[in-house]
Amino acid sequence: MLERIRIVLCETSHPGNIGAVARAMKTMGLGRLVLVNPKDYPSADATARASGADDVLATAEVVSNLDAALAGVSYAVGTSARLRRIPMPQLDPRESARQLVAEAATQEVAVLFGRERSGLSNAEIDRCHALVNIPANPDYQSLNLGAAAQVICYELRMAMLAATATSGTEEAVAHQPATGEHLESFFGHLEAALLEIGFLDPKQSQSMLRRLRRLFQRARPDDTEIHILRGILSRAQAAARKDPEAG
């Protein structure tokens, strides 16, 4: 199941950190590394810090945006050095690893790591279902990127070992949540439809859309449910076109 877990590094500045993450991953049995716009890569520093894990670097995907990094992913968590005032689940590494490993039994999942200086952007956090914080010294909470990845990968390994030990009793997972791409195109449709029927005020649309995004990310709709929701939106749009006063 660890092969369905990808580690995504967003705009890493120091190539040495990329190597350190590759090594952290390999020691814990993970292999899928995705680099979004790394500042300086490939690099001899990355290879040196990866030590014997240069195979993880060799197969790392370098992509230019988050959509590409999250292709096929239906559950993503973002790691953050500080707890943020955001209405979304905030988990510790152990809880999040349990959830990630359970999801990875049937689907692609991702763990996002932010920039050394500024962490993850709001747009990146918007793509996540939960935030993960390593509960560190409150006076000094920011771990080095490679060190943070090591903690998360260790917890993933422990969760995988625990899940394997109990896999005889594992229930079949019937629910298959839609991938991020399908959810994103639904959000695009939702925004267009809510503007068209006059529900959204263009001035406040971003905060409203962010709330709606959280609602659907919590609900984890599957493809059939997305199809139904989009059908409702299309009908509402058609009705508003026939009777512009109706909205």
Minimum separation from the CB atom of position 167 to ligand SAH (A) = 28
- Kind and range of the H or E run holding 74: strand 73-79
Nearer to ligand SAH, 69 or 148 (CB): 148
129-148 residues near ligand SAH, rule: CB under 6 A: 132-134, 136, 141-143, 145, 148
- Asked if 240 is part of the footprint of ligand SAH (rule: CB under 6 A), the reply reads no
Minimum separation from the CB atom of position 120 to ligand SAH (A) = 5
Residues 6+ apart with CB under 8 A from 137: none
Alpha-carbon separation of residue 126 from 130, 211, 212 (angstroms) = 9, 10, 11
- Asked if 120 is part of the footprint of ligand SAH (rule: CB under 6 A), the reply reads yes
- Asked if 113 is part of the footprint of ligand SAH (rule: CB under 6 A), the reply reads yes
Q: What CA–CA distance (Å, rounded) separates 58 from 103?
A: 27
Contact between 24 and 150 under an 8 Å Cβ cutoff? The reply is yes
- Asked if 90 is part of the footprint of ligand SAH (rule: CB under 6 A), the reply reads no
Structure tokens at 204: 């406040």
Minimum separation from the CB atom of position 201 to ligand SAH (A) = 32
Minimum separation from the CB atom of position 179 to ligand SAH (A) = 23
Residues 6+ apart with CB under 8 A from 215: none
- Asked if 80 is part of the footprint of ligand SAH (rule: CB under 6 A), the reply reads yes
Piece in contact with ligand SAH (CB under 6 A), picked from 95-103, 108-116, 122-130, 171-179: 108-116
Q: Provide DSSP, 2-35.
A: GGGEEEEEES-S-HHHHHHHHHHHHHTT--EEEE
- Residue 129 per-residue DSSP state: S
Contact between 62 and 47 under an 8 Å Cβ cutoff? The reply is no
Tell me the sheet residues that pair with 112.
8, 78
Per-residue binding string, ligand SAH, 9-38, x by CB under 6 A, is: ------------------------------
Tell me the sheet residues that pair with 171.
none
Nearer to ligand SAH, 122 or 166 (CB): 122
Nearer to ligand SAH, 101 or 233 (CB): 101
Nearer to ligand SAH, 20 or 178 (CB): 20
Q: What angle do CA 56, 123, 176 make, to 5 degrees?
A: 65
With CB under 6 A as the contact rule, the residue among 82, 94, 211, 235 that binds ligand SAH is 82
- Asked if 119 is part of the footprint of ligand SAH (rule: CB under 6 A), the reply reads yes
With CB under 6 A as the contact rule, the residue among 81, 102, 212, 236 that binds ligand SAH is 81
Name the site residues for ligand SAH (rule: CB under 6 A).
79-82, 113-114, 116-120, 132-134, 136, 141-143, 145, 148
